[in-house]
Amino acid sequence: MFKSIQTIAVLGAGVMGSQIAAHFANAGIKVYLLDIASQGQNKNDIVQKSFQKAQKQKPPIFFTKSSSSRITLGNFEEHLDYLKNVDWVIEAVVENLGIKQELFTKISHIVPPHAILSSNTSGLPLVKIAKGLPLSIQKRFLGTHFFNPPRYLKLLELIPLQTTDEEVVKKIHWFGRLHLGKGVIIAKDTPGFIANRIGMYTTMLAVDAWLKKDYTIEEIDTVTGTLIGRPKSATFRTIDVVGLDVFNYVCEHLYNCLPDNSHRNIFKVPEIVTKLIESGALGAKVGHGFYKKEKGQILSLNRNTLAYESAHSLNLENFREISKIKNLKKRLIKLYQDQGRMGELFRYLTLHTLNYCATCIPEITDNPADLDRAMSWGFGWEIRPFELWDILGFETVIEDMKKEGLIIPDWIERLQSRHVSSLYHKTLDHEETTLQESCRGEFCFTAGMVHTPQGSILLGQPHDEIRLSSIEHNPDYVLWQNDESAVLDLGSGVVLFQMRSKGNTLSKAVVEGLLSALDLLAEKPWQGMIIGNDDKHYCAGANLLEMATLAQGGKFTEIALFLDQVQTLMKRIRYSPKPIVSAVHGLALGGGCELLMATGHVVASAESYIGLVELGVGLIPGAGGIMTMASWVSQQALKMGEANLHPFLEKVFKTVGMATVSKSAEDAINLGFLPCNSHVVINSDRRLYVAKQLISYLNQEGYLPPPAREILVAGETGRAMLEMIAYNMQQGGWISEYDQFLANKLAYVLTGGDITAPTYVSEDYLFNLEKTVFLPLLQQEKTQARIEYMLKHKKALKN
């Protein structure tokens, strides 16, 4: 086990430097953020302005506003002595070799002998940056390439040198994964490292296809975006977001740094890009690049006239049919087999991309699996390159490459000669590449092995991750299931309840499944249960389609019975005699938030976005959400040693009334959506493992369910205050009259209904109030209109 890193310094407060500093602060690390000194009296003026700009970024770079307090600002002229007490220095100044070399030379005499030094360069050779530094520094020096934005993109590329100590690589790998939540890979000191090298190739390949083949910008973006499991920004929207000037710089850098590379010309900046830059069309930051938004319409560039035109209809014959295939792997196979223009483009881009990826082994990495991970973690590819090769067929792709006139790399031919049919082999515990060869033609990859200029380092297979993909369809692990949920065996007497409904919504089948799981938990010798999954989100809330269908059919008695069932479920979860832990990540909205509140014990990914959003669809929380928030108000007031509920009541009223969603798990704790004893893990892959360990700990401590709560509610005076807030907001134009009507219903339940003075009430009392108000709202025309609009447009209607 390594000594933890407690204090770091980031040199350079630009876009990347500020965001790197923020992410370390999110992780609880003390940070010194330094930049060049200003010429004026306030020598911190440059770093302060950069930091203020960073604090306003959207999406936010901090988990909570208070996280920024861990950052101390300074400048290179007055505050380099801060570096005497740091454990790690990260350089993120301008991409200029001379400036970087000079800075590292200066600080090498200041940093303590244990401090690690790294550069966040995205392209400059690390060996040149480190040239001339003392050997004692070079042993502690490496590249650490964070991807922008560091908070949200998982990839961290480590680039060790020949002189870098193995223990340094292990320590940063361990720290990056455990404390920064990163997917860490080892890259070689080559132009673009791994992800940018492959990412820029695929981007330029698509641009080249647009220039030389008969496809529009929209058609290229359609075939390179969500259709194939990649970000919706696809190719040209991504370039616009990055900026054509930045795109141009990266292309030129790769072109100049790869003089002997057979694929070098793909990185040559097209003349049309140069013309756009000269005309000031730099992309999204100036309002136009390859796309332009004008009078609410998205226009695209005509490559011949350089004029912006309305989008032409897609000339992709089978697009509708293929896009409706929900299973991504099946969709990709169908697309690859398509004989129309769409299939032709996809095959061209795919064959050239896969061939280039194979050609880059072992130049940029000895490990093909790391190349795959880089594209998944850095560029958001749902299906990774070599994984895609397997899906399309190992032999099929090779034969099609030959027809395309592409050269097959030696290591692929060696695999073919050994009759290998797949690059990946799946086991029950993990997924790993089986036959991956180094440049010596030896099978070099084993789980947890990374490769550095000094040789291979065994880091060990992560023991603190549970991957459901390997067990969720294995009958040996599936203990119970219905159409939309299942109970899985995680070992050691711990089971997991997995929602399998669309969006992991609380459908009727899921609720019935959870009730059945609770029955089994009580009957079986199980130690406890986790509620969680491996999907993008924890739970999107109630199944609005089911509810809308019943409401439109006038089946309100059936809805009332279902609501009774849901409330019973929440009570049984909270007071289960065995521990139940929710492992939350991504979205947990409405009923999903209420499910978290019921469990009481939560392991939350730091990137959890939680909220009671029911007012957005014309309802109020009806499964214990208001009751739990009323309890939070009561607890906060009593903690202050007084019974004045009003300040906390107002906060909750505005939070729920405005359908606020937390910006992180820590923010959710501050808002009252998560209990203060929640375990927040910055690496989301660890959440199920930590939840399992928590159940073991709770049992060892002698688990007992919590006592029933008596909740202090404000009564009539509190309700009047909240109603006045809603009135003022409506009069000020912030909310509609119907919003005010809903807010008054929320105030009624939150303050205890018809109670006139502050009074202690039971949980059941507030559950009943929620139900009493919830059901009539479903009969309101404007509520039904809001639900219908949400289902159709995926956003709230303000009526």
Q: pLDDT digit string (tens) for 567-610? A: 999 999 999 999 999 999 999 999 999 999 999 899 999 999 99
User: What pLDDT is attached to residue 2?
Assistant: 56
Q: Residue 548: helix, strand or coil by DSSP?
A: helix
DSSP 726-792: HHHHHHTTSS-HHHHHHHHHHHHHHTTTT--S-EEEEHHHHHHHHHHHHHHHHT-HHHHHHHHHHHH
Q: Average pLDDT for residues 386-398, to the nearest whole number?
A: 96
User: What pLDDT is attached to residue 441?
Assistant: 34
Which of 542, 540, 597, 598 has its CA nearest to residue 574?
A: 598
Backbone angles phi and psi of 230, in degrees to 5:
-120, 165
pLDDT bracket for residue 459 (50, 70, 90):
very low
486: pLDDT strictly greater than 90: yes
C-alpha torsion sign, points 360, 361, 365, 370: positive
Instruction: Output the six-digit token pair for 252.
Output: 């030129």
In sequence order, what are the residues at sequence separation of 6 or more whose Cβ sits closer than 8 angstroms to the Cβ of residue 704? none
In sequence order, what are the residues at sequence separation of 6 or more whose Cβ sits closer than 8 angstroms to the Cβ of residue 294? 308
Mean pLDDT of the chain, nearest integer = 92
Which of 409, 406, 333, 340 has its CA nearest to residue 371?
A: 409
Instruction: Output the six-digit token pair for 390.
Output: 């397997």
- Residue 286 DSSP label: G
pLDDT bracket for residue 424 (50, 70, 90):
confident
Which of 362, 448, 461, 452 has its CA nearest to residue 167?
A: 452
Q: Average pLDDT for residues 178-197, to the nearest whole number?
A: 96
User: What pLDDT is attached to residue 462?
Assistant: 65
446: pLDDT strictly greater than 60: no
Dihedral angle at the C-alpha atoms of 572, 615, 553, 514, nearest 10 degrees?
Answer: -20
CB atoms within 10 A of CB 737: 10
Q: Average pLDDT for residues 37-54, to the nearest whole number?
A: 94
Matching residue, tokens 């392209």: 123
Q: Average pLDDT for residues 453-466, to the nearest whole number?
A: 58
Q: Average pLDDT for residues 298-312, to the nearest whole number?
A: 93
Backbone angles phi and psi of 228, in degrees to 5:
-110, 15
Rounded to an integer, what distance in angstroms lies between the CA atom of residue 694 and that of residue 521? 17
H/E/C letters for each residue in 348-366? HHHHHHHHHHHHCCCCCCC
* Residue 688 β-bridge partners: none
**Residues 232/380, Cβ–Cβ less than 8 Å:** no
**Residues 357/371, Cβ–Cβ less than 8 Å:** yes
**pLDDT over 90, % of the chain:** 88
* Residue 5 β-bridge partners: none
**Residues 513/548, Cβ–Cβ less than 8 Å:** no
Rounded to an integer, what distance in angstroms lies between the CA atom of residue 578 and that of residue 502? 29
Rounded to an integer, what distance in angstroms lies between the CA atom of residue 528 and that of residue 692? 9
Q: Average pLDDT for residues 100-118, to the nearest whole number?
A: 96
Rounded to an integer, what distance in angstroms lies between the CA atom of residue 457 and that of residue 454? 9
Q: Average pLDDT for residues 34-40, to the nearest whole number?
A: 94
**Residues 695/530, Cβ–Cβ less than 8 Å:** yes
pLDDT bracket for residue 296 (50, 70, 90):
confident
160: pLDDT strictly greater than 90: yes
Rounded to an integer, what distance in angstroms lies between the CA atom of residue 130 and that of residue 119? 9
16: pLDDT strictly greater than 60: yes
> Where do runs of H (alpha helix) occur along 360-507?
368-379, 385-392, 394-403, 410-417
Instruction: Output the six-digit token pair for 416.
Output: 């073919």
Look at 418-432, 676-690, 736-750 and tell me which has the smallest mean pLDDT: 418-432
H/E/C letters for each residue in 159-184? EECCCCCHHHHHHHHHHHHHHCCCEE
Reported as a single tens digit per residue, the pLDDT across 503-545 is 999 999 999 999 999 999 999 999 999 999 999 999 999 999 9
User: What pLDDT is attached to residue 119?
Assistant: 98
Q: How far apart are the first and last CA of the chain?
A: 57
* Residue 143 β-bridge partners: 119, 159
pLDDT bracket for residue 422 (50, 70, 90):
confident
53: pLDDT strictly greater than 70: yes
Q: How distant, in Å, are the alpha carbons of 302, 457, 742 from that of 450?
A: 46, 5, 57
User: What pLDDT is attached to residue 420?
Assistant: 83
Rounded to an integer, what distance in angstroms lies between the CA atom of residue 619 and that of residue 551? 13
User: What pLDDT is attached to residue 455?
Assistant: 47
Strands 601-611 and 580-589: parallel
The Cα angle at residue 552 between residues 551 and 556, in degrees rounded to 5: 30
Which of 507, 502, 499 has its CA nearest to residue 533?
A: 499
CB atoms within 10 A of CB 60: 18
430: pLDDT strictly greater than 80: no
User: What pLDDT is attached to residue 715?
Assistant: 95
User: What pLDDT is attached to residue 3?
Assistant: 66
697: pLDDT strictly greater than 80: yes
Rounded to an integer, what distance in angstroms lies between the CA atom of residue 17 and that of residue 19? 5
Crossing angle, helix 646-657 and helix 716-731, to 10 degrees?
50
Look at 25-34, 442-451, 644-653, 708-717 and tell me which has the smallest mean pLDDT: 442-451
Across 410-569, the runs of DSSP E, i.e. the strands, are: 424-426, 431-433, 449-452, 455-458, 478-482, 485-489, 494-499, 528-531
212: pLDDT strictly greater than 70: yes
User: What pLDDT is attached to residue 445?
Assistant: 35
Matching residue, tokens 């109670």: 755
C-alpha torsion sign, points 74, 79, 82, 87: positive
Which of 538, 543, 626 has its CA nearest to residue 588?
A: 538
Which of 63, 169, 18, 3 has its CA nearest to residue 682?
A: 63
- Residue 436 DSSP label: -
Rounded to an integer, what distance in angstroms lies between the CA atom of residue 236 and that of residue 289? 9
Which of 575, 587, 582 has its CA nearest to residue 541?
A: 587
**Residues 684/585, Cβ–Cβ less than 8 Å:** yes
Matching residue, tokens 């040789």: 455
Rounded to an integer, what distance in angstroms lies between the CA atom of residue 90 and that of residue 103? 11
Which of 418, 377, 459 has its CA nearest to residue 166?
A: 459
> What global pTM score does this model have?
0.91
**Residues 543/590, Cβ–Cβ less than 8 Å:** no
Which of 14, 8, 38 has its CA nearest to residue 116?
A: 8
Backbone angles phi and psi of 237, in degrees to 5:
-70, -35
Rounded to an integer, what distance in angstroms lies between the CA atom of residue 737 and that of residue 306? 48
Q: How distant, in Å, are the alpha carbons of 649, 725, 758 from that of 717?
A: 11, 13, 8
User: What pLDDT is attached to residue 432?
Assistant: 42
Rg (CA), the chain: 28
Q: Average pLDDT for residues 231-254, to the nearest whole number?
A: 95
